[in-house]
């Protein structure tokens, strides 16, 4: 509704109010026809200014929303929200929020998780530091057999060791003696 429509409608309604105050039991019929014409003019102005459909609910948030006859404001959306709040207030809650049994998780819960898996890491001494020389094994005997095969190979290292990895690292066994080797020939002179 624009400003001109608003002022014209306000003027017509004020005029109708004056007519209403002037009505008595002995008002002539010509005056009633004048009231009727002014009333029709006000209704026409109102019809021109209203562009939307009449609200189906009394809800200011959802005036044209779905209707629930049992709701005080006739709004189904707001009444659903109120019912959910009342249900949660009394401990009913929606069924999805309080499962009867634990929900299975892809990763499990803390008590269901297995302990960290242990591995045996075969390492060789390269002259400077220990380095991984094969795939970490899940079986200790298999890791020891791998190191024994490496010792018998043509390019055996100076020393090998087997490291147990669980939650920490622990050296289990060392084959050979690791000696630090200077990388520069003749002592770096």
Residue 116's pLDDT is what?
A: 63
The answer on 127 and 86 residing in a single domain is no
Whether this prediction's pTM lies above 0.95 is answered by no
The answer on 77 and 44 residing in a single domain is no
The 10s digit of each residue's pLDDT in 127-149 is 888 898 888 888 899 999 999 99
Residue 177's pLDDT is what?
A: 86
The answer on 12 and 43 residing in a single domain is yes
Average pLDDT for the chain:
82
In a domain, 16, yes or no: yes
In a domain, 105, yes or no: no
Specify whether the CB–CB gap between 116 and 166 falls below 8 A.
yes
In a domain, 170, yes or no: yes
The answer on 168 and 134 residing in a single domain is yes
56 or 95, higher pLDDT: 56
In a domain, 61, yes or no: yes
In a domain, 114, yes or no: no
Largest CA distance in the chain: 135
Residue 103's pLDDT is what?
A: 60
Q: What is the separation, in whole angstroms, between the first and last Cα of the chain?
A: 98
Q: Which residues of 18-46 are buried (b: 16+ CB within 10 A; e: fewer)?
A: ebeeeeeeeeeeeeeeebeebeeebeebe
The answer on 26 and 43 residing in a single domain is yes
The answer on 37 and 69 residing in a single domain is no
Please count the structural domains in the chain. Answer: 3
In a domain, 34, yes or no: yes
The 10s digit of each residue's pLDDT in 93-122 is 555 555 556 666 566 555 555 566 788 889
The 10s digit of each residue's pLDDT in 81-97 is 888 888 777 766 555 55
Which pLDDT band holds residue 47 (cuts at 50, 70, 90)?
confident
The answer on 44 and 71 residing in a single domain is no
Beta partners for 170?
164
The answer on 34 and 67 residing in a single domain is no
In a domain, 185, yes or no: no
**What is the domain range of residue 15?**
3-49
In a domain, 181, yes or no: no
Residue 108's pLDDT is what?
A: 57
């Amino acid at each position: 509704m624009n400003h001109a429509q608003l002022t014209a409608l306000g003027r017509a309604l004020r005029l109708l109010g004056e007519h209403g105050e002037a009505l008595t039991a002995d008002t002539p019929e010509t005056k009633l026809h004048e009231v009727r014409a002014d009333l029709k003019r006000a209704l026409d102005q109102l019809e021109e200014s209203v562009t939307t459909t009449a609200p189906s609910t009394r809800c200011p948030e959802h005036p044209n929303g779905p209707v629930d006859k049992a709701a005080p404001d006739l709004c189904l959306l707001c009444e659903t929200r109120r019912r959910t709040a009342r249900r949660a207030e009394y401990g009913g809650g929606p069924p999805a929020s309080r499962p009867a049994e634990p929900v299975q998780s892809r990763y499990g819960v803390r008590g269901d998780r297995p302990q960290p898996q242990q591995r045996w890491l075969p390492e060789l001494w390269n002259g400077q530091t220990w380095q991984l020389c094969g795939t970490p094994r899940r079986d200790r005997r298999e890791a020891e057999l791998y190191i024994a095969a490496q010792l018998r190979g043509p390019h055996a290292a100076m020393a090998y060791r087997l490291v147990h990895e669980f939650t920490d690292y622990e050296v289990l066994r060392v084959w050979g003696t690791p000696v630090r080797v200077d990388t520069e020939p003749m002592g770096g002179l």
